[in-house]
């Protein structure tokens, strides 16, 4: 049973990674990458590595996602001037 859950989480990591690369919007891609990191964190729990799982969840899924979202929010999208 544990092997199937681990394989399911690994499939979630792959699908979230592919989704992050293929999405057009920056915010959607960052959230999908954070989801891949969250799946990795749950996989580490299944593999009996709680210290790695906590680090991945806090830094990979939490902090990195927040920093990317903050950077996207601060920079914004600049529209091209149609006259130029």
Q: For the chain, what is the mean pLDDT?
A: 89
pTM of the full structure: 0.80
Q: How far is CA 29 from CA 2, 6, 10, 57, 72, in A?
A: 29, 24, 18, 18, 11
- Residue-wise pLDDT tens digits, 2-43: 899 999 999 999 999 999 999 999 999 999 999 999 999 999
Comparing CA positions, the residue from 41, 34, 55, 49 lying closest to residue 10 is 41
Q: Contact at 8 Å (CB) between 16 and 36? A: yes
Q: Does the pLDDT value for residue 78 go beyond 70?
A: no
């Amino acid at each position: 049973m544990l092997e199937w859950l681990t394989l399911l989480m690994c499939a979630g990591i792959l699908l979230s990674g592919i989704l992050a690369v293929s999405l057009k919007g920056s915010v959607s891609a960052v959230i999908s990458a954070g989801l891949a990191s969250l799946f990795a964190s749950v996989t580490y729990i299944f593999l009996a590595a709680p210290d790695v799982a906590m680090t991945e969840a806090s830094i990979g899924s939490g902090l990195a996602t927040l920093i990317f979202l903050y950077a996207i929010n601060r920079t914004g999208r600049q529209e091209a001037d149609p006259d130029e």
